[in-house]
A and B are shown apart, each in its own frame.
Chain A
Amino acid sequence: MVDARVSGIRALIDENAGGNTDAATATPAASPWDEGGRSDLNSDTRLWNTASSGVDSLRDTLKPAVTKLDDGRRGLGPGDTAVTGLLTGAAQTDVHDTWARYLDLLARESAELSDKLTKAGSDHYANEEAVAAAFRQQLTKPEEPTSVLGLPPFGVHAFPSW
Chain B
Amino acid sequence: MVTLSTLRAVNPDDFEQAADGYHAVSSAAGAAKDRLANEIIARSMPVHGRDDAVAGLVGQAADAARKRLQRLADNYHYTQVECGLVRAVLNGFAADLHAAKQKLDAALDDATASGFTVTSDGSVTFPSAGERVDGRTPEGGTAVSYGDPAANGLADQAAHLDPNPHHARAKDCADRIAEALREAEEADETWAPKLRALKAQNDLTVSHADWADVHSDQEAVQQGADRYLAQGDIPDGRPPRENAAWWNDLTDEQRADYTALYPSSIGALDGIPSDVRDEANRAVLAQTRGHYETQLAALPAKPAFDPYNQPGLSEDVTWRDRQARVLDWEEKYGAEHDRLTKALTGMEAIDRRIDNTGRNGLPEAYVLGFDAEGNGRAIIANGNPDTADHTAVFVPGTGSNLAKAENDIERMGLLWRASSANPGAGDVATITWIGYDAPQEIPLAASASYADKGAESLSSFMEGLEASQPREGGSHYTTIGHSYGSTLIGYSDARGDLRTDDVIVAGSPGLGPWATHASDMHVPDGHVWSAEADEDYVPDGGRFFHGAADQPTLDRERIVPSDKEFGAHRISTGDPGAPGYVTGHSDYWREESVSLRNQAKIVTGDYDQVTTVDD
Residues of chain A having any CB pair with chain B under 8 Å: 1-2, 4-6, 8-10, 12-13, 15-17, 20-21, 23, 28, 31-34, 36-39, 43-44, 47-48, 50-51, 54-55, 58, 61-62, 64-66, 68-76, 80-82, 85-92, 94-96, 98-99, 101-103, 105-106, 109-110, 113, 116-117, 120, 128-129, 131-133, 135-136, 138, 140, 142-143
Residues of B contacting A43 in the complex (Cβ-Cβ under 8 angstroms): 55
Tell me whether B471 is interfacial, beta carbon within 8 Å. no
**Given A5-B34, A72-B22, residue A16 in contact with residue B40 (CB < 8 A):** no
Identify whether the interface residues of A are mostly helix, strand, loop, or mixed.
helix
**Given A31-B49, A58-B36, A92-B195, residue A68 in contact with residue B24 (CB < 8 A):** yes
Give Cα A58 to B65, complex, Å. 16
Contact sample, A vs B, 20 pairs, CB 8 Å cutoff: A1-B34, A12-B361, A51-B65, A58-B35, A64-B24, A68-B21, A68-B24, A72-B19, A85-B9, A88-B192, A92-B90, A95-B200, A99-B83, A99-B200, A106-B76, A109-B72, A113-B65, A129-B61, A131-B64, A143-B202
In the complex, which range does the number of interface residues on chain B fall in? Answer: 35 or more
Q: For chain B residues 185-226, which have a beta carbon within 8 Å of chain A?
A: 187-189, 191-193, 195-196, 198-204
**Given A61-B31, A76-B15, residue A12 in contact with residue B43 (CB < 8 A):** yes
Q: Are A34 and B53 in contact (CB under 8 A)?
A: yes
Give Cα A74 to B16, complex, Å. 11
Residues of chain B having any CB pair with chain A under 8 Å: 2-3, 5-6, 9-11, 13-15, 17-22, 24-25, 27-29, 31-32, 34-36, 38-44, 47, 49-61, 63-65, 67-69, 72, 75-76, 79, 83, 86, 90, 93, 187-189, 191-193, 195-196, 198-204, 275, 358, 361, 363-364, 383-384, 387, 420-423, 427, 592
A53: nearest chain-B partner, CB-CB: B40
B8: nearest chain-A partner, CB-CB: A81
* Option from A13, A71, A80, A98 in Cβ contact (under 8 Å) with B21: A71
Q: Are A47 and B69 in contact (CB under 8 A)?
A: no
Give Cα A58 to B36, complex, Å. 9
Residues of B contacting A90 in the complex (Cβ-Cβ under 8 angstroms): 192
* Option from B13, B15, B29 in Cβ contact (under 8 Å) with A92: B15
Residues of B contacting A106 in the complex (Cβ-Cβ under 8 angstroms): 72, 75-76, 79, 204
B33 to chain A, nearest CB (A): 10
- Smallest CB-CB A-B distances: 4 pairs: A72-B21, A85-B6, A33-B53, A75-B14
A26 to chain B, nearest CB (A): 10
A58: nearest chain-B partner, CB-CB: B32
Q: Are B65 and A120 in contact (CB under 8 A)?
A: yes
A154 to chain B, nearest CB (A): 19
Give Cα A50 to B69, complex, Å. 13
Q: Are A95 and B199 in contact (CB under 8 A)?
A: yes
Q: Are A91 and B55 in contact (CB under 8 A)?
A: no
A59: nearest chain-B partner, CB-CB: B32
B44 to chain A, nearest CB (A): 5
Give Cα A80 to B9, complex, Å. 9
Apart from the given pairs A16-B47, A16-B49, 8 other A-B contacts in the complex at a CB distance below 8 Å? A9-B363, A17-B420, A55-B69, A69-B22, A72-B20, A81-B9, A82-B11, A113-B68
Q: Are B52 and A37 in contact (CB under 8 A)?
A: yes
Residues of A contacting B75 in the complex (Cβ-Cβ under 8 angstroms): 106, 109
